Amino acid sequence: MTEPGHVGLPGVDSAVLVVCDHASADLPRWADLGVPASVLATHVAVDLGAGPLARRLARRLGAEAILGRFSRLVVDLNRPEGTPGWIPEVSDGVVIPGNRNLSAEARALRRALYDSFHAAIAERIARTPPRLLVSVHSFTPQLATDPAPRPWPVAVLWNRDDRAATRALAALRADPAVPGPVGANEPYSGRVLNHTMDRHAEANGIPYVGFEVRQDGLETRDAIERWAGVLERAVRAVLTRLSEPCVSAG
């Protein structure tokens, strides 16, 4: 039996469940991606800073958290199974030789990690449905394959259900600790890439917030702590205001 594809952190407050798909650059013992170790220290392999940020945010909220245990180069937990990029052969111009021409057995190992992560989220929701799901990601300031600058220090992503996103955007835009413009479905859109929240939040009618924090703001422990405070305030504002009417996000 393969190792689980997730790490679960207990919480004392069931109102919020924190999820982080791309929390780790670790590889399972059986995975040989054929890339230099240096690649695993970049945004190609992991959402840099997102795992520590998700852990700290969950602790501040007293919330349970479920984090991806392995690199998204092994399997991308935030994409539908079998779609392009689910087991990436190229990521931001970096070729991943070990993901090409996989055997059925090798794909089954990747699928087991993927299923473990999503089963853990589904089980938690079935056991104690949260009032809010919170997804934590980070993004690189500049892609190698698309060098256009990304000016947003933080952004909110959503697909169809914008109940929580609207409140989160308002809270972030009003927070003097946010050092720049707040992105709305930037640097990419939740209407395009939102699988984990589509599957577990939108499909169950649970409000959710997808946070994206730019990686250069998460390079130290103090910086992560500051952003955890910003996101905590936004989450608490969302919880307070969910029963109030709102206008669409934008």
What are the residue ranges spanned by the domains of the chain?
Answer: 6-241
The DSSP code sequence of 171-239 is HHHH-TT--SPEEES-SS-TTTS-HHHHHHTGGGT--EEEEEEEGGG-SSHHHHHHHHHHHHHHHHHHH
pLDDT for position 3:
84
Q: Is the pLDDT of residue 249 over 80?
A: no
Per the model's pLDDT, the better-predicted residue between 34 and 245 turns out to be 34
Give this prediction's pTM: 0.95
> CA torsion 211→214→218→223, rounded to 10°?
-80
**Residue of 61, 58, 65 whose CA lies nearest to 21:** 65
pLDDT for position 30:
95
Would you place residue 82 in the very low, low, confident or very high pLDDT band (cuts 50, 70, 90)? very high
When the pLDDT of each residue in the chain is averaged and rounded to a whole number, the result is 95
Q: Is the pLDDT of residue 207 over 60?
A: yes
Give tens-digit pLDDT for 63-80.
Answer: 999 999 999 999 999 999
The CA–CA distances, whole Å, from 65 to 81, 116, 134, 164, 181 equal: 23, 14, 9, 18, 28
Would you place residue 246 in the very low, low, confident or very high pLDDT band (cuts 50, 70, 90)? low
pLDDT for position 205:
98
CA 74 to CA 33: how far, in whole Å?
8
The CA–CA distances, whole Å, from 36 to 39, 95, 98 equal: 6, 11, 12
Would you place residue 144 in the very low, low, confident or very high pLDDT band (cuts 50, 70, 90)? confident
CA 247 to CA 193: how far, in whole Å?
23
pLDDT for position 244:
72
Would you place residue 243 in the very low, low, confident or very high pLDDT band (cuts 50, 70, 90)? confident
CATH topology of domain 6-241: Aminopeptidase (3.40.630)
| Residue type present at position 29 | R
CA 132 to CA 201: how far, in whole Å?
8
Q: Helix, strand or coil for residue 154?
A: strand
Would you place residue 180 in the very low, low, confident or very high pLDDT band (cuts 50, 70, 90)? very high
pLDDT for position 235:
98
Angle value at C-alpha 179, between 178 and 183, nearest 5 degrees: 70
